[in-house]
């Protein structure tokens, strides 16, 4: 049995066609069903439905053999115990800094609100900017509006969330997409099954280019 960890929401929706090409179609729909383990049309594959930020943990500990997670989440978590063999090219967005519209340029020490603490620390250190990082779990866009921070580090896709909150994107930290990750022990123990799945995903992705 292969267990694949996927988060509900945009990654699940965008992963479905890729999985379907490999003959993996979940029997139940996580939008309407409270099951956390989903059987699929393949007897040898099941999905576990978890929070996006928990995917690397499940795969690292071998609770799932494979997982699909955003590069943002993988960088923030650290990649010990995981292989990252494939960029699936789904859930694409950008990790950016953003400020209030027309905010003056940041000089000296900066207060940054983000849920990507490690990434933000590394980014500002690489620029030689002293940053005080304030950890939030969501709604980062609010922080500069209420004086909690000068700047945020967050994901941007359409830019609509920033615009709706009188904010503007500043610097690109990195482009983000979701990756297939594999538990290192599973890669050895279940090599044939995992290699076959990887090859199928690669064929599907090659057709998309």
Question: Which CB, 8 or 42, lies closer to ligand ATP?
Answer: 8
Q: What is the dihedral of CA 208, 71, 170, 105, to 10 degrees?
A: -160
Binding partner at 154 among ligand PRP, ligand ATP, none, C-beta below 5 to 8 Å by kind: ligand PRP
* SS3 state of residue 120: helix
Binding partner at 51 among ligand PRP, ligand ATP, none, C-beta below 5 to 8 Å by kind: ligand ATP
Q: Say if residues 82 and 182 touch (Cβ distance below 8 Å).
A: yes
Q: Identify residues 121-150 at the interface with ligand PRP (CB under 6 A).
A: 138
Tokens encoding 5: 């960890």
Q: Binding string, 158-177, against ligand PRP, x = CB under 6 A? A: xxxx----------------
Q: Does 60 contact ligand PRP by CB under 6 A?
A: no
**Closest to 154 (Cα-Cα) out of 105, 101, 99, 206:** 99
Distance CA 86, CA 83 (A): 9
* SS3 state of residue 192: helix
For ligand ATP, the binding residue among 134, 142, 155, 193 (CB under 6 A) is: 155
Q: Does 70 contact ligand ATP by CB under 6 A?
A: yes
Q: Does 150 contact ligand ATP by CB under 6 A?
A: no
Question: Which CB, 115 or 190, lies closer to ligand ATP?
Answer: 115
For ligand PRP, the binding residue among 155, 187, 193, 205 (CB under 6 A) is: 155
Q: State which residue has the least CB distance to ligand ATP.
A: 70
Q: Which residues contact 203 (CB under 8 A, 6 or more apart)?
A: 21
**H or E element that contains 203:** helix 191-208
**Closest to 61 (Cα-Cα) out of 197, 159, 181:** 181
Task: Give the sign of the dihedral formed by CA 74, CA 79, CA 82, CA 85.
Answer: positive
Binding partner at 159 among ligand ATP, ligand PRP, none, C-beta below 5 to 8 Å by kind: ligand PRP
Q: Which residues bind ligand PRP (CB under 6 A)?
A: 138, 154-161
Could you list the residues that contact ligand ATP (CB under 6 A)? 7, 9-11, 51-53, 70, 72-73, 91, 93, 155, 157, 176, 178
């Amino acid at each position: 049995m292969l267990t694949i960890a996927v988060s509900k929401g945009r990654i699940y929706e965008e992963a479905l066609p890729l999985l379907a090409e490999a003959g993996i179609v979940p029997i139940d729909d996580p939008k309407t069903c409270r099951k956390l383990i989903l059987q699929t049309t393949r007897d040898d594959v099941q999905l576990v439905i978890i929070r996006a930020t928990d995917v690397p943990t499940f795969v690292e500990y071998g609770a799932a053999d494979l997982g699909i997670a955003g590069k943002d989440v993988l960088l923030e978590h650290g990649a010990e115990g995981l292989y990252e063999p494939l960029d699936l090219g789904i859930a694409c967005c950008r990790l950016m800094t953003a400020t209030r519209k027309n905010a003056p340029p940041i000089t000296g020490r900066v207060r940054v609100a983000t849920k990507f603490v490690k990434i933000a620390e590394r980014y500002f250190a690489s620029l030689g900017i002293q940053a005080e990082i304030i950890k939030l779990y969501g709604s980062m866009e609010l922080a500069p509006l209420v004086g909690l921070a000068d700047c945020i580090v967050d994901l941007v896709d359409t830019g609509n969330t920033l615009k709706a909150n009188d904010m503007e994107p500043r610097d690109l930290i990195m482009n983000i997409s979701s990756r297939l990750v594999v538990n290192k022990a599973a890669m050895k123990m279940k090599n044939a099954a995992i290699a076959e799945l990887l090859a199928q995903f690669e064929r599907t992705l090659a057709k998309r280019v």
